[in-house]
């Protein structure tokens, strides 16, 4: 879980903890300063009732700090927390909050799930190439060792008119091609697109130092977020540069949203970046914000299904993909929808 999300949860929990801390401190103070009253049954019942109330007030705050994977049975979890907080005044509250904050930062433990017989789905290569029509034909020519070098060169040059995020993974495989001209042309196409995006980024960065209106500053931050995002999702960068571009896309998108929090597309972008990092908690929070600000839920179903899959909520994956009409789904998604729907 990201430090940002943990900080947001802590800030949300602290105001809820204040009444409980004050009440438990009052009970402890009375017990320490008036030990002679302990012999009075009525007085002890009053103190226990106040302690029970303080524990009850602390439970919602403690639940706020819980990671989503620990909230499968909220009533049982809440009852356990109440019993623990009631039995250990003040110290139990501090220890509980500390343990939950630590648990939120730790990676998820892998479950040892039983394996049963299943049939492997026939997935398409994810965004590696165009899968239909002209793109599929160009791919077959490029990957054919029997095709003449001139035909393969023409096929590679024809790919310049296709979206880079569709063809860049294939271009990277061409960097290891035995034919030198193929390697050079593939490298040139990738390098040209990366330099084009980098130049646009460098053109936008100096504008942030100018005195801009709120709307203009929002547009610059959004443009930078989209440009860095294009570097990431077009597979034009790898390794440390890829991670840097993803961080910058997230940073500028967050800055733009502080200026214009109703931009649903930027919330969706941040959700995709969080999914790319494997942070399902933040991805779900960002996608919820996108839907809250008007983004079509139908278009978010694949991302919501991916969140559920990474969280191992396979029943929810089936429900979400069943809501996706097969006819309107992208070709790359159709085998996945059929698989989870139980069709072949």
Same domain? 261 vs 188: no
Same domain? 280 vs 305: no
Same domain? 82 vs 47: yes
Q: Is the pLDDT of residue 218 over 90?
A: yes
Q: Tell me the residue range of the domain where 343 lies.
A: 296-344
Q: Is the pLDDT of residue 259 over 90?
A: yes
Q: Which of 263, 290, 317 is the last residue of a domain?
A: 290
Would 75 be classed as within a structural domain? Answer: yes
Same domain? 90 vs 148: no
First to last CA, the chain: 37
Q: Is the pLDDT of residue 151 over 80?
A: no
Would 205 be classed as within a structural domain? Answer: no
Same domain? 307 vs 283: no
pLDDT digits (tens, 9 = 90+) for 26-73: 777 777 777 766 667 777 788 788 878 888 887 777 777 666 666 667
Would 117 be classed as within a structural domain? Answer: no
Same domain? 153 vs 228: no
Q: Which residues contact 326 (CB under 8 A, 6 or more apart)?
A: 334, 337, 338
Would 261 be classed as within a structural domain? Answer: yes
Same domain? 72 vs 54: yes
Q: Which among 3-12, 111-120, 140-149, 186-195 has the top mean pLDDT?
A: 186-195
Same domain? 305 vs 275: no
Number of folded domains that form the chain: 4
Q: Which residues contact 274 (CB under 8 A, 6 or more apart)?
A: 2, 280, 282, 283, 286
Which of 78, 76, 111, 81 lies closest to 96 in space, CA to CA? Answer: 81
Give the integer Cα–Cα distance in Å for 47 and 64: 27
How much is the pLDDT for 268? 94
Same domain? 300 vs 267: no
Higher pLDDT, 79 or 43: 79
Would 204 be classed as within a structural domain? Answer: no
Same domain? 280 vs 303: no
Same domain? 147 vs 170: yes
Q: Is the pLDDT of residue 124 over 50?
A: no
Would 80 be classed as within a structural domain? Answer: yes
Same domain? 254 vs 188: no
Q: Which residues contact 185 (CB under 8 A, 6 or more apart)?
A: 153, 156, 157, 174
CATH code, domain carrying 255: 1.25.40.10
Q: How far is CA 103 from CA 62, 97, 100, 288, 319, in A?
A: 12, 10, 5, 23, 29
CB burial class (10 A; 0-12, 13-18, 19+) of residue 279?
A: buried
Contact 149, 183 (CB under 8 A): no
How much is the pLDDT for 127? 42
Tell me the pLDDT band of 253, cut-offs 50, 70 and 90.
very high
Would 111 be classed as within a structural domain? Answer: no
Q: Which of 105, 135, 167 is the last residue of a domain?
A: 105
Would 173 be classed as within a structural domain? Answer: yes
State the average pLDDT over residues 298-320. 90
């Amino acid at each position: 879980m990201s430090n940002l999300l943990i900080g947001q949860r802590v800030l949300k929990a602290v105001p809820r903890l204040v009444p409980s801390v004050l009440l438990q401190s009052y009970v402890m103070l009375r017990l320490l300063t008036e030990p002679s009253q302990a012999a009075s049954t009525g007085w002890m019942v009053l103190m226990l009732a106040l302690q029970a109330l303080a524990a009850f007030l602390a439970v919602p705050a403690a639940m706020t700090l819980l990671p989503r994977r620990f909230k499968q049975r909220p009533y049982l979890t809440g009852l356990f927390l109440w019993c623990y907080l009631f039995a250990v005044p003040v110290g139990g509250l501090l220890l509980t909050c500390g343990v939950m904050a630590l648990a939120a930062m730790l990676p998820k433990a892998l479950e040892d799930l039983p394996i049963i017989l299943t049939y492997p789905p026939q997935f398409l290569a994810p965004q590696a190439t165009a899968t239909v029509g002209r793109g599929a034909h160009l791919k077959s020519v490029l990957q054919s060792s029997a095709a003449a070098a001139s035909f393969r060169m023409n096929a590679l040059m024809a790919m310049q008119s296709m979206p880079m995020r569709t063809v860049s993974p294939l271009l990277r495989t061409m960097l290891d091609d035995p034919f030198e001209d193929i390697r050079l042309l593939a490298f040139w196409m990738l390098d040209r697109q990366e330099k084009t995006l980098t130049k646009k980024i460098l053109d936008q960065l100096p504008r942030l130092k100018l005195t801009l209106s709120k709307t203009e500053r929002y547009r610059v931050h959004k443009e930078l977020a989209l440009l860095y995002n294009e570097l990431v999702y077009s597979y034009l960068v790898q390794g440390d540069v890829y991670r840097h571009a993803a961080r910058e896309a997230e940073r500028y998108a967050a800055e733009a949203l502080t200026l214009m929090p109703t931009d649903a597309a930027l919330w969706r972008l941040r959700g995709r970046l969080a999914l790319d990092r494997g942070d399902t908690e933040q991805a779900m929070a960002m996608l919820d914000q996108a839907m809250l600000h008007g983004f079509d839920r139908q278009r978010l179903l694949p991302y919501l299904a991916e969140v559920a899959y990474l969280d191992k909520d396979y029943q929810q994956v089936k429900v979400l993909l069943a809501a996706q009409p097969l006819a309107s789904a992208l070709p790359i998604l159709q085998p996945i929808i059929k698989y989870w729907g139980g069709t072949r």
